[in-house]
Chain A
Amino acid sequence: EVVMTQSPATLSVSPGERATLSCRASQSISSSLAWYQQKPGQAPRLLIYGASTRATGIPARFSGSGSGTEFTLTISSLQSEDFAVYFCQQYHNWPPLTFGGGTKVEIK
């Protein structure tokens, strides 16, 4: 099973600042990585797939990078609606499909 580890668990950021979230895979997953955003009481929403491709309707301030075992989600200038929990998910080696434990982005 591919274990996905996200860091930090919580990130405190001021509105307008940049946020950098990390996701590490226990083995190489090429670029087979997706990022999701989850707000309280809502289902996760797809942000990024293929490690760096934005999903339909996702603002350009969200960007993804990385390959192999190290991945990054960057939010260039945090807006109020971006404070949420972010999960990564690998789809290179399955079953099972696996998710990271999440990073909560909170207002500083």
Chain B
Amino acid sequence: QVQLQESGPGLVKPSETLSLTCTVSGVSINSFYWSWIRQPPGKGLEWIGYIYYSGSTNSNPSLKSRVTMSVDTSRSQFSLQLTSVTAADTAIYYCARWSNYNYFDPWGQGTLVTVSS
């Protein structure tokens, strides 16, 4: 079955760049859209953006200026970079497949990133 696994540092200093990678298994990364979503502890969900296997991207206007996404099809991975982080960026970060411009399924287990000095 399709599985996704996030990886990256759990602690990032304020003003630095958050970098995460999602590894996809059980399906080819080609021909699908892949997304990042985050959830501050105890709060709701916020869509960050998506990337297509071709490299085309789109992101939440509220984060657009700080978000970069990339894909490495040879490694079945896609990545997120979020620059100039503050405490407000502390959250569980999930990667997920975005199906047919619709829903997210499946999701990775999530990784907690804390922004703190």
For the complex, count residues of A whose C-beta is within 8 A of B.
23
Q: State the CA gap A89–B58 with chains docked (Å).
A: 17
B99-115 contacts to A, CB under 8 A, are: 101-110
Q: State the CA gap A2–B46 with chains docked (Å).
A: 13
B60 and chain A: residue at smallest CB distance: A96
B58, B94, B103, B108: which contacts A95 (Cβ < 8 A)? Answer: B58
Chain B residues with CB under 8 A of A100: 44
Once A and B bind, how many residue pairs between them come within 8 Å at the CB atom? 56
A91 touches B60 (CB 8 A): no
CB of B73, distance to nearest CB on chain A (Å): 23
B46 and chain A: residue at smallest CB distance: A99
B26 within 8 A of A: no
With A96-B61, A99-B44 as known contacts, state yes or no: A91 contacts B101, CB within 8 Å.
Answer: yes
Interface residues of B (CB under 8 A from A): 35, 44-47, 49, 58-62, 94, 96, 101-110
Interface residues of A (CB under 8 A from B): 1, 32, 34, 36, 42-46, 49-50, 55, 87, 89, 91, 95-102
